[in-house]
Amino acid sequence: MSDNLNQQPLITLKNIRKMYYTDQIETLALKDINLEINKGEFISIMGPSGCGKSTLLNMLGLLDRPSTGTIEFEGKTLDKLSDKALAPIRNEKLGFVFQTFHLIPDLRVVDNVALPLLYRPMSNKERRERALNALKIVGLDARVNHFPTQLSGGQQQRVAIARAIVGEPPVILADEPTGNLDSHMGNEIMSILFDLNENRGTTIVMVTHDREQADQTQRTVRVFDGQLVH
């Protein structure tokens, strides 16, 4: 942390609270979270199930608005930004691997992977080439024209990872990216992430239950009952 003192953090969470309201119950999923993510870091988030890891990742990935508190991205406060202003940030700066993949069932694997590129100005040919390349990286170049339902859980996860990296975003947020993979494939994915982090300077925030994986990262953030524990 010390070597980042005079560097501006990439993402800053200040006093973040997140309440969920259901029919009867209110859940305070995050309580007064303060967290800084610096450029080029590889951070792991650990904690028991239901403690708020995914909620926290949603905040960092600008996928949800906090109930109170502010989020800064590259020094800019975001809570007053419109969706229109957030869209290019999500598109260019952030790659997200969801815990439950979220592939579009109507689209073939290659089109699922190319999705973030769809919202960038480029030719269809280039989109396809880049998507095929990303699929090659995750070792799925033989399943290009399948539909998501025709893939195993692990294969779907790799499609989701390919989609997160296809646009070469400076930040990747991954929610248990190896949760459905065997240790061999898991290691493969980890080495892809490490490669992106080391050779391209990609900032990575990863939720994991795997202590070994967490130990390999530069910093581990522990969450318990919606709070950071030190």
Partner 1 sequence: MLSHYFKMALVVLWRRKFMAFVNIFGIVITLLTLIVGVAALNSGLNPKKAARNTEQYLVIDEMCFTGERNTRNGGVGHQFYTRHLQPMQTPDKISFSTSAHSAVVFQQGQKLNFAIRRTDATYWEIMQHQLLEGRWYDQAELENGQFVAVINESLREQYFAGESPLNQSLRINGQTFNVIGVVEDEPETSRTSFSDIWVPLTTAPSANYQKEWIGDGQVLVWIEDASKRDLMARETQDLASQFEYVPDPTRYEQALFLAKTPLDNVSNKFLGENCTNLSHASTFISVIAAITLVFMLLPAINMINLNVSRILERAPEIGLRKAAGASNRLLVGQFLVETLVVTTIGGVVAFVIAPWVLAFMNNTLIRYGQLSMSLGVFMAGLGLILVFGLLSGVYPAWRMSKLAPANALRGGHRHA
Ligand X SMILES: Nc1ncnc2c1ncn2[C@@H]1O[C@H](COP(=O)(O)OP(=O)(O)OP(=O)(O)O)[C@@H](O)[C@H]1O
**Residue 63 or 185 with smaller CB distance to partner 1:** 63
Cα–Cα distance for residue pair 145/151, rounded to 1 Å: 11
- Asked if residue 67 binds partner 1 (CB under 8 A), the reply is yes
Phi, psi of 103, rounded to the nearest 5 degrees: -95, 150
Q: If you ran DSSP here, which 8-state letter would residue 191 be given?
A: H
- Does 50 bind ligand X (CB under 6 A)? Our answer is yes
Spell out the alpha helix ranges (H) of the chain.
Answer: 53-60, 83-93, 109-113, 115-118, 124-137, 153-165, 183-200, 211-216
Residue carrying the six token digits 């949760």: 179
Contact (CB, 8 A) for 134 and 153: no
Q: How far apart are CB 126 and ligand X at their closest, in Å?
A: 35
Least distance from C-beta 20 to ligand X, angstroms? Answer: 3
Q: Pick between residue 94 and residue 214 the one whose CB is nearest to partner 1.
A: 94
Sort 17 into a burial class: Cβ within 10 Å, 0-12 / 13-18 / 19+: middle
| Among 167, 48, 173, CA closest to 98 | 173
Per-residue interface string for the shown chain with partner 1, residues 145-184, x marking contact by CB under 8 A: ------------------x---------------------
Q: How far apart are CA 47 and CA 30, in angstroms?
A: 13
Segment contacting ligand X (CB under 6 A): 6-14, 20-28, 63-71, 130-138? 20-28
Q: Which residues pair with 26 in a beta bridge?
A: 21
Instruction: Answer yes or no whether residue 24 interacts with ligand X by CB under 6 A.
Output: no
Stretch that binds partner 1, among 56-64, 134-142, 176-184, 208-216 (CB under 8 A): 56-64
- Interface with partner 1 includes 115 (CB under 8 A)? yes
Which of 7, 8, 64, 150 touches partner 1 by CB under 8 A?
Answer: 64
Binding residues for partner 1 restricted to 70-99, rule: CB under 8 A: 83-84, 87-88, 90-92, 96, 98
The helices-and-strands tally (H runs, E runs) of the chain is: 8, 10
Choosing from 9, 14, 63, 194, the residue that interacts with partner 1 (CB under 8 A) is 63
> Using the rule CB under 5 A, which residue among 54, 156, 197, 208 binds Mg ion?
54
Residues that bind partner 1 (CB under 8 A): 19-21, 58, 61, 63-65, 67, 83-84, 87-88, 90-92, 96, 98, 102, 104-107, 115-116, 118-120, 124, 163
